[in-house]
Each structure stands twice: as C-alpha cells, then as structure tokens.
Structure 1
Amino acid sequence: MDRTTRSRRWFARALAVVAASALGVAGLTGSAQAADVNVAKNGGFESGLANWTCTAGSGATVSSPVHGGAAALRATPAGQDNAKCSQAVAVKPNSTYVLSAWVQGSYVYLGAGGTGTTDVSTWTPGASGWQQLTTSFTTGANTTSVTVYMHGWYGQPAYHADDLTVVGPDGGGGTDPEPGIPAVPSGLATGATTASSVALSWNGVSGATGYNVYRNGTKTQAVSGTSATVTGLSASTSYQFQVSATNAAGESAKSAAVTGTTTGGGGDPGNPNVPKHALTGYWQNFNNGATVQRLSDVQAQYDIIAVSFADATATPGAVTFNLDSSGLGGYTVAQFKADVAAKKAAGKSVIISIGGEKGTITVNSAASATNFANSVHALMQEYGFNGVDIDLENGLNSAYMTQALRSLSQKAGSGLVITMAPQTIDMQSTSNEYFKTALNIKDILTVVNMQYYNSGSMLGCDGKVYSQGSVDFLTALACIQLEGGLAPSQVGLGVPASTSGAGSGYVSPTIVNNALDCLTRGTNCGSFKPSKTYPSLRGAMTWSTNWDAKAGNAWSNAVGPHVHNLP
C-alpha cells in the first residue's frame, strides 16, 4: 500500500490477446518407439542451467516449486524480453519426436524451431499447479539439430518449468545417464494442522521424480513435489510421518520420522476478540491528499484499524514507529496513544502494519526473525497495539516470517491479532511464500485481506482468467484461498475506498457486497459461482480510512453494515 495516491507499487501490464490460429497445439503426428531415447540434456535442471541458454539472464534454477527431482527452472520476463530458455538437441533426419514439459505460471509456451519441416509450439494460459504441455515435430531430410525452447509472455510474472523431454531416435548425441536409486529425503517437517489434516514439507532429492508419504509406517500417497497434506485424520491425535524418494530405478529408504498432532477441532481459528465478521481499514500516518485523520476520527464501522506503517531500522528485521506529527497537524504521541486506548475500549483492534509500497523490512534469517518479533512486541507494549499486519510487497521468506510471527505469538499471548495483505499474485498458489506463511501460522492467523487491485487479470480457482473490477474477480480469487487451506474466517476482500485510493481495480460498494453475498449465501454471483458457500467469511478491508473519509465515508457506510449482517 502506497504513501502517494496509489496503494501499491506493483501494476501488471494488460495481458496480450494472442490469436489461437497462431498458437494452436500441433497434432501428435507420431509416437515414441521402443528404441527411442530422450535426446534432451538436463531437462530436469538438476545440473543448474547446463545445456540451456536463457535470454537476458532471465533464467535460474530453484528448489521450489519442482515437478520432479530437486530443481526446476524459474524464468522471469522483463521489459521486451519474454524469458526464452532453449537448447539445441541432436536429432536424426526424417524422424518424429515428441516434445513434452511440465510448466507452471501464466502464459507459458513450449516449442521447437529449425525442424526442417514445420516448426511447432503449444502454450497454456496458466494454472495454479503443474501442467504438462506436449507437442511433436518431424525433422527434415537434412536436419541434425533442432532448438527446443520455453518462454513466458511480456509483462507476466515468472514461470516455472521442469522435466522437459524430447523423445525419438538417437541423433548421435545420446541421452542423460539412467538414474540410480535416489537418496533418502531430509528436512521432513510438519506445517499447518487442522482437526483432520497435517501439512508436511521436505527437501528435494537430486534425481528423484516423486515421493511417497507414509503415516505410521503405511504409505498414504505419492506426490511429485516436496510437500503434501495428509488428510482424513482424527482430532487431537498424534501421528508419525515419513517420506521416501522414487524414480525409475526404485525407491529410497524412508526418512527419519516426525510427529504431527491434529488440533482439537471445533470453532474457527483466529483471534476470538475480533468480531465474526469484521471490517478492516488502513489508517495513514502521513498526508498524501486524502483526509488527514487522527485515530479518533476513524469511522466507527471499522473493527480492525491497521496503522500504516512501521519503519525499518538499522537492525535487520527490526521495526519502529514514528508518528508524523507535523504531517498530521500537530498530532502528538500522547494523543495518539490515548486514541489507541479509546478505540480498544470501544471494542476495536488497533494493529501496526509492516511494509507497504515503500517498506524495506527484510526477515530472512533467524536473527532478523528474532529482531522482528522483539521490536513488534515492544511497539505493542509502548503504544498499546493489539497485533501486527504483514503488508510486505517486496518479497517474503515464509520460513523466517513464520518463525518471527510464532515468536511474537509466544510473547503476546492469545490476544494477538495477525492480519496479512498480500497482492493477488502472492496468493495464486499455495507454493507462493505469502500463501505458505499464511498456512504455516493458520492456528494463530486472524485474517488475510488480499488486495484485489492494481493487479490486472488473474486466474481464478476454476483456471479461468478474470479481469479486476468485477464480482467474478473477487469471488474466483477468494476461492483459491478458501480451497487452498485457509478457513473462511481467515479470508477478507481488500478493495480501494475510492478511485483515488488505487491506480486500478476500484469497485463500487455494491460489487463488494454482491461478492460477499455470493461467497457467504450463494446469491448475487456473476458468471462464477463457488461450489459451496462460506457463511463464516471474515469480511472486507479497504485502503484507506482516509480516502474513505475524503469520499464522505461512502465505502464504510455501505460495506460496513453489510459485513456486520453477514450470516
């Protein structure tokens, strides 16, 4: 969220509309024979970018997410570069090859050039998980080398690719050596738990194409990535979990066991001091043309008031708060503290927000996680804040932010309010760091108010692309969080209070209320309608109480009563 007249720095470019005739999937004109081999080298990126060339330095290997093994490609389009990664493969003339790869992301392309006949390509508009692209090509009479490639699209986020193969006759270049049985996975750990499930994660193993998950010594599921959620468990029960790695050569021994214990069940997670249905508003500790407010001026409809923003210090991970007294017309620290106390006495929660468009707080080590927890707790004690809001728009490390928030929870106790305000791109997949953090702290998390603005078009939970500014955009993206593991009470709709509050994505209060009705009652939906209703949905959030006041509190007067009257 922005300190100028915008609410965030990230503006997605409009998605390019590409004619299907130019990008149609080529028909599979042949199939692999028994003697065929995979002529691609390092298609699983287990050896980094060896054999690959990526334009403009756009490619890198990552350990998560992966489809198989311990690594995958991450390539990021920038400017006029579409992050094309390619390699030349040795082929046999007058032969048919099947080209295949697993991809993840928006607008990902797979193709082959220099075939000597008809070059081919196939693509996907995107999906939240891994998706296989497959096409085939036939080489010309004199063709001995073909370039295979993957690329993204201009203005889109990074894409991931893994396990690329080009199967056909050996063109003289051979193939990657056959794998041996993979090593035993390490780093097995439990994550978010519910009354009936335990989330697991572990380190990837080089050469592995999949993993088996064991509960109390019995195999329960096979997965391709390095995480899984074991479901169908009993409440308040401890289980032992192990994993093994697999590939074509066989299965490794099981890992060391870890114990996970399900919760007791009953009741929604999140802070009991926050109303079942709550309205959240960000209060600006600066003057950017919106109405200058003291905390006491904030409309009574708001249940959670996020003070924006804390400031970074010279100590890694640590934050402080500096009231902008001069910018707020002489508002003193003593007056501010008294207003915090008065809001709390009226049943409101006042929390300190960390980040925003210009926030530079980084929590990427155990030490910085400790500094973060200690400094936020100190601000809670000094000013009377009820908790913290995570609005980091420049990257987040799920492991260390989880450590920081759990440490803060231990210091602050059960009354701690934790909210989050991720951008839409941050919650497209449970493998994203923001989403992982939310799931990691699900037992102490109050609400995630995703920012449904300044984001361009995005994928909904049904795999379709929706444009911001509509009921469908709000409901289909909220569905991703609801199906991804958050409780309905931990999901809120974040929107601008007026057209001045964001560069794009403003929706009228009527659309916000229709989206709330669609999600909680199944009424007033657009073309997308969730498969079930979520009556305990937490509510809505806005940037900001100041822009709301500038518009005569039109947003809170319309949305506030509607939120408070949800089922």
Structure 2
Amino acid sequence: MPRPGRPRPPRIGWKAATAALTLTLSLALSFAGAGQAQAADVNNARNAGFESGLGNWTCSAGSGTTISSPVHGGSAALKATPAGQDNAQCTQTVEVAPNSTYTLSAWVQGGYTYLGATGTGTTDVSTWTPDTAAWKQLSTTFTTGASTTSVTVYLHGWYGQAAYFADDVSVFGPDAGGGGDPAPTVPSAPAGPSVTATTSSSVSLSWNSVPGATGYNVYRDGTKVAAVTGTSATVTGLAASTSYSFQVTATNAAGESAKSAAVTATTAATGGGGGGTGLPKHAVTGYWQNFNNGATVQRISDVPASYDIIAVAFADATATPGGVTFNLDSAGLGGYTADQFKADIKAKQAAGKKVVVSVGGQNGTVSVSDSASAANFANSLYSLMQTYGFDGVDIDLENGLNATYMSQALRTLSQKAGSSLIITMAPQTIDMQSTSAGYFQTALNIKDILTVVNTQYYNSGSMLGCDGKVYSQGSVDFLTALACIQLEGGLAPSQVGLGLPASPSGAGSGYVSPTVVDNALDCLTKAANCGTFKPSRTYPDLRGAMTWSTNWDASSGNAWSNAVGAHVHALP
C-alpha cells in the first residue's frame, strides 16, 4: 500500500512475468526429461563458486563483488547490489557443444534474483525467485542450436531492490572444453521433513535443502505426487479425515536420492482456516489512512458500513528489531485525538466490524528475522491491541519477509490474543506467484489462524495465471487467473480476497472499475461473467474484496464501496 510522500514505483512487469512463466513451466515439467548423467558431462562454467573473485564474470555498473559470508559452498560468493536504474546483472560466456542439453543452476539468497541463458540458438531460458532469507537453488534447462558453441549465462536482481547473493553456478552437460568443475553426484536424502499445515483436502510439507540437489520429489504412500525445485510443497486433492504418509527425495543430473524419513499427516474433517469470529461469510476490507496524501481525510467513524474489516495504515517500526508502534497523526487528520480514535474503534466493533492495525506499506520496513525479533513483533502488536482495541493485525510488508519467523511471531500473537484474533495479509501479486515464496509460505504456515489474504492486483504489470498464461493487469482475466493460484495452492477460498484500488488516484496502475471487480467475483464464485479464463471449478466461499483505500473511495463519492460492497454481501 502506498505511504505518503513518495510515489509508488512501477512493479515488475513483462520480464518478471516471462521469468515466472519459465519457472512455472519448469515446475510443471519437473525433471521428467532428465536422465542419468553421461560420463562426459561436466560443469562448463568457470569460477562457478567465485573462489577467484569476479574472474570470468562481468557485472553491470560495478554492482558485483565477492564476499566471504554468506556463502553456500567454499569460501566465497557473489554479492550484487541493484540501483535505481541498474539490475546488477553479472554475466559469463560459457563454451557449450551444439545440439546438446544443459542444466543451468545456481544457489541464491537475498533480494529478487534471476538466472538465465541467452544465445542458446534455440529458446533462451530464465527462472527467478522473490526475496529469500536462506540459500535456495534456481534451476532450468536449455538446448543449444546446431551451430551454437557458446552461451551467455546471467544473474541479476531487480531495480532498486535488495542485494542478492549467488554461489555455485553450474552449466552442467557435455564437455565443451572450457569447464572443469566436478560433475555432480547423486544427492543425499533430504533431512527434516515436517508437516507445516493441513486442511480437509491438502497437506503442506517442508524439508531441509540438500547440497547439490536441483529438485525434489514428493511421495504420498509410496507414489510420486509432486516435483518441485524448492524445499516445500503442498499436496492437494486429499480426502478429509484421512491419514497419509509422505517422503521426499532429492534429485540432480546424476540421479535421485533415497527417500527421506516418513512423516504422517491427517487431513482435517472440514475445510479450513479462519482466525477471528463474527465476520460475515463474504467480507469487504478497506485501508484507512492515518495521514493526509490528498485523499479525503477521515475519522474511523466516517468509514462506510459496507466495510467489514478496517485496516489502519500504518504501524511504525521502532528501534527494537521486530518492534512496532502506532502514532496517530492527529495534526494531519484535523485534530483527531487518540481518545476519539479509540472510541470510534469501539463503535465500529459494536456494529459488528473489525479494526486491525496494518504493518508495512510501501515504505514500511519491519525486520522479523530471528526468534528475538519474532517475540518483539508479537509482544508489541499485542500491546497495541490492548492500548487501542485493535482486533488484530494486517501484514503488508512489501520488502520481503522471513516465512519461518513471521509465522512464529503470528502464532505467538495468536496465543496471546486468543481465537478471536484477526490476521489479514496484503501481498503484492509477485509475492503470491509460487507457494515457495515467503509470503505464500507464511500464509500456508498459519492457515489455521489466518483470516484472509487480499492480494494487491495492481501496480503489477503482467503476471502469470494458474493456467501458465501471462495476463495483463486491468482485466477480469488478470484477477481470476491470478486468484486461482492461491485458491489451488493451498488456501481455503474463505481466505482469498481480491485487492484493488478504489480510484485511479489510489495506485500507480491497475485500477479497474467496480464492474470488473464484481464480474471477477461472479466468475470465481459461480462461473458467471468470466473473461477468456474459466476456472476449473467455482469457489462459492471466496471471502470477498479489499481496496486501497477508504479515503480514496470517499474522494470518489464512495463509488467503489457502494458497488463492490453491495455485490460482495449479496454473494451466495
């Protein structure tokens, strides 16, 4: 969500969509086409572990350097820092053999990271990952053309985003005379398999990464049911109240490991999720601005009754890691006092509404990266709930989050606040493209206490839908095909909402008319008013919609809430 004083930068568009498309296709194809490695296969990349500094590598605008920590293997790794007009691209020309297939991989950490190859002579490839706090392996394959003897391999981040780290790059395939890094061996079995979430029809799993692995296979009762590149997966299509056994193997070009230890999970009796009580089946969320940025200045009492959840934007980070506080902008809001603010919250609650405090926004950075900061986050939020009467928290962190410790923090908060706690989330579209992304993983980790995820379907450019096609923002197809990713990725329909700006002034791009929002809701809940994308099934329990903001809505005569609010509440 935009904060005052700084225009929202354009978000990742067609390049990210292309990268996301490649990633999803590689997930879908898995490693079905990969056989046993040939004796002559080698890693054709030079200085693949950056042990010789930046030798053989060229980084744009002086963005790259080598560091001794963090590293994935050896004693060095690459650190590349994007700037506002530079994506920190580091490249190497690698000798390859014509008419040959290669597996390109690298271990990455930090900000948005892209890996790809150009000049293949056939189809150039790329893959990517959003922010990741731990080392994660990116992998894809390419085939060279009949006259191709070299390709350009690249790593890059994204403009103005956090630095990324990379290590142990591999271009594994037939020896073209320029490589020399050792061939991979069959990886060891994954350790630490665990069940992270269950519903009536799905089980979410995670496990430890395995050095040298390029992918993982998931087995249910001895049958392979999924192939992924990350260290988590959600197995769907399961029967309710049923016990299942799961094992995981690690794979690379040399073969497949032995199976991990088995973990058992029993699916729930009914479909899930919740968090909070007293909300209608279909609900509307609106962000209320605790600042004046040109939109109508409101008090909480001014927010229309069509909003079921009011997210107060925003809490502020403190000097304590993970700590947050809230400072009412009384001056900017025309003298609105803290006592009036608290009284208005109570009045909304008496009318059956929920008021939560939102953490983050475009410029808001709260770091929850270890157990201590997770505890600080939970404790400070609970203190705000007691001080102001908030019903819970909204997570709107747009600079990445650590799924492990954010999940820990929210569970601690839930233990303090009890079953009435409201937890909402407002990730950007790119944060919900894959279940391995930090935001998506957090949502799955806390599914049993989560109220709703209102993905921001704006400031996005083009993105990938659940059918593997790329859609441009501003259409019914964009909303329905992207929401389908969450609906089929493990969240309950009651935990999925569509987030849109209330007016063209509310976002840099992606505004759609209330009619488009209503049509998307109809398409997802009852297969009516769809565009070219038709979901494979309907989701009548879809939670509803969200908007930025109630203030921008008021500036437009409440046109958004009058139309969308009424439509959401009329859904069956």
- TM-score, normalised with respect to structure 2: 0.80
Q: 1:377-399 deviations in whole A, cap 9, x for unaligned?
A: 11111211111100011121111
SS in 2 for 1:511: helix
Q: 1:53 aligns with which of 53, 57, 66?
A: 57
Q: Unpaired runs of 5+ in structure 1?
A: 18-31, 67-71, 113-118, 140-144
Percent of paired sites with the same residue: 63
Distance 1:365 1:436 in 2: 17
* Corresponding residue for residue 265 of structure 1: 270
* Corresponding residue for residue 20 of structure 1: none
Q: Is residue 461–residue 479 contact of structure 1 (8 Å, CA) maintained in 2? A: yes
* Corresponding residue for residue 144 of structure 2: 135
Structure-2 change in CA distance of 1:379 and 1:60 (3 Å): farther
* Corresponding residue for residue 321 of structure 1: 326
SS in 1 for 2:123: strand
Is 1:111 aligned to residue 112 of structure 2?
Answer: no
Q: 2:340 aligns with which of 335, 343, 346?
A: 335
Q: 2:440 aligns with which of 435, 438, 444?
A: 435
Deviation at 1:499, TM superposition (A): 1.4
Q: 1:185 aligns with which of 185, 190, 197?
A: 190
Q: 1:475-525 deviations in whole A, cap 9, x for unaligned?
A: 111111112111111111111111111111111111111111111121111
Is 1:353 aligned to residue 353 of structure 2?
Answer: no
* Corresponding residue for residue 121 of structure 2: 120
* Corresponding residue for residue 228 of structure 1: 233
* Corresponding residue for residue 421 of structure 2: 416
Q: 1:337-373 deviations in whole A, cap 9, x for unaligned?
A: 1111110010000111111112121111100101111
Which amino acid counterpart does residue 9 of structure 1 have in structure 2? R
SS in 2 for 1:494: strand
SS in 2 for 1:122: coil
* Corresponding residue for residue 498 of structure 1: 503
SS in 2 for 1:120: coil
Deviation at 1:227, TM superposition (A): 2.2
Where does 1:62-141 land on structure 2 (aligned, <5 Å)?
84-89=89-94, 96-101=98-103, 109-112=116-119, 120=121, 122-123=123-124, 132-138=141-147
* Corresponding residue for residue 29 of structure 1: none
SS in 1 for 2:100: strand
Structure-2 change in CA distance of 1:150 and 1:96 (3 Å): same
Structure-2 change in CA distance of 1:214 and 1:457 (3 Å): closer
Distance 1:83 1:16 in 2: 15
Distance 2:38 2:239 in 1: 48
SS in 2 for 1:310: strand
Deviation at 1:303, TM superposition (A): 0.4
Distance 2:209 2:87 in 1: 28
Q: Is residue 202–residue 236 contact of structure 2 (8 Å, CA) maintained in 1? A: yes
* Corresponding residue for residue 41 of structure 2: 37
Which amino acid counterpart does residue 3 of structure 2 have in structure 1? R
Q: 2:302 aligns with which of 297, 321, 331?
A: 297
Structure-2 change in CA distance of 1:520 and 1:212 (3 Å): closer
Q: Is residue 46–residue 206 contact of structure 1 (8 Å, CA) maintained in 2? A: no
* Corresponding residue for residue 115 of structure 1: none
Distance 1:14 1:521 in 2: 30
Q: Is residue 97–residue 169 contact of structure 1 (8 Å, CA) maintained in 2? A: no
Q: 1:461 aligns with which of 459, 466, 475?
A: 466
Which amino acid counterpart does residue 417 of structure 1 have in structure 2? I
Structure-2 change in CA distance of 1:281 and 1:151 (3 Å): same
Distance 2:303 2:271 in 1: 34
Distance 2:113 2:409 in 1: 32
Is 1:481 aligned to residue 480 of structure 2?
Answer: no
SS in 2 for 1:314: coil
Q: Is residue 101–residue 141 contact of structure 2 (8 Å, CA) maintained in 1? A: no
Distance 1:74 1:185 in 2: 28
SS in 2 for 1:358: coil
Q: 1:306 aligns with which of 295, 311, 323?
A: 311
* Corresponding residue for residue 2 of structure 1: 2
Deviation at 1:162, TM superposition (A): 9.6
Q: Is residue 102–residue 161 contact of structure 1 (8 Å, CA) maintained in 2? A: no
Deviation at 1:530, TM superposition (A): 1.4
Structure-2 change in CA distance of 1:356 and 1:210 (3 Å): closer
Distance 2:188 2:54 in 1: 22
Distance 2:298 2:398 in 1: 25
SS in 1 for 2:505: coil
* Corresponding residue for residue 524 of structure 1: 529
* Corresponding residue for residue 22 of structure 1: none
* Corresponding residue for residue 26 of structure 1: none
Structure-2 change in CA distance of 1:201 and 1:314 (3 Å): same
Which amino acid counterpart does residue 133 of structure 1 have in structure 2? F
Which amino acid counterpart does residue 305 of structure 1 have in structure 2? I
Distance 2:494 2:52 in 1: 42
Deviation at 1:413, TM superposition (A): 1.0
* Corresponding residue for residue 28 of structure 2: none
Q: Is residue 117–residue 124 contact of structure 2 (8 Å, CA) maintained in 1? A: yes
Which amino acid counterpart does residue 191 of structure 1 have in structure 2? T
* Corresponding residue for residue 394 of structure 2: 389
Structure-2 change in CA distance of 1:554 and 1:74 (3 Å): farther
Q: Which moved more, 1:219-228 or 1:466-475?
A: 219-228
Distance 1:398 1:49 in 2: 32
Distance 2:446 2:37 in 1: 50
Q: Is residue 101–residue 163 contact of structure 1 (8 Å, CA) maintained in 2? A: no
Distance 1:212 1:325 in 2: 55
Distance 1:245 1:82 in 2: 32
Distance 1:16 1:261 in 2: 41
Q: Is residue 288–residue 300 contact of structure 2 (8 Å, CA) maintained in 1? A: yes
Q: Which moved more, 1:258-267 or 1:346-355?
A: 258-267
SS in 2 for 1:308: strand
- TM-score, normalised with respect to structure 1: 0.81
Q: Is residue 455–residue 468 contact of structure 1 (8 Å, CA) maintained in 2? A: yes
SS in 2 for 1:336: helix
Structure-2 change in CA distance of 1:34 and 1:237 (3 Å): closer
Q: Which moved more, 1:189-198 or 1:206-215?
A: 206-215
Q: 1:44-97 deviations in whole A, cap 9, x for unaligned?
A: 979999986252346999xxxx9xxxxx99988766656655445566xxx635
Structure-2 change in CA distance of 1:238 and 1:541 (3 Å): same
SS in 1 for 2:306: coil
Q: Is residue 460–residue 466 contact of structure 1 (8 Å, CA) maintained in 2? A: yes
Structure-2 change in CA distance of 1:214 and 1:456 (3 Å): closer
* Corresponding residue for residue 12 of structure 1: 11
Structure-2 change in CA distance of 1:350 and 1:80 (3 Å): closer
Distance 1:278 1:358 in 2: 27
Distance 1:250 1:101 in 2: 13
Q: Is residue 48–residue 181 contact of structure 2 (8 Å, CA) maintained in 1? A: no
Is 1:507 aligned to residue 512 of structure 2?
Answer: yes
Q: Is residue 280–residue 306 contact of structure 1 (8 Å, CA) maintained in 2? A: yes
User: What is the CA RMSD across the aligned residues, in angstroms?
Assistant: 3.9
Which amino acid counterpart does residue 475 of structure 1 have in structure 2? T
Which amino acid counterpart does residue 118 of structure 2 have in structure 1? G
Q: 1:268-300 deviations in whole A, cap 9, x for unaligned?
A: 644342111001101111111111111111101
Structure-2 change in CA distance of 1:520 and 1:3 (3 Å): same
Distance 1:358 1:33 in 2: 48
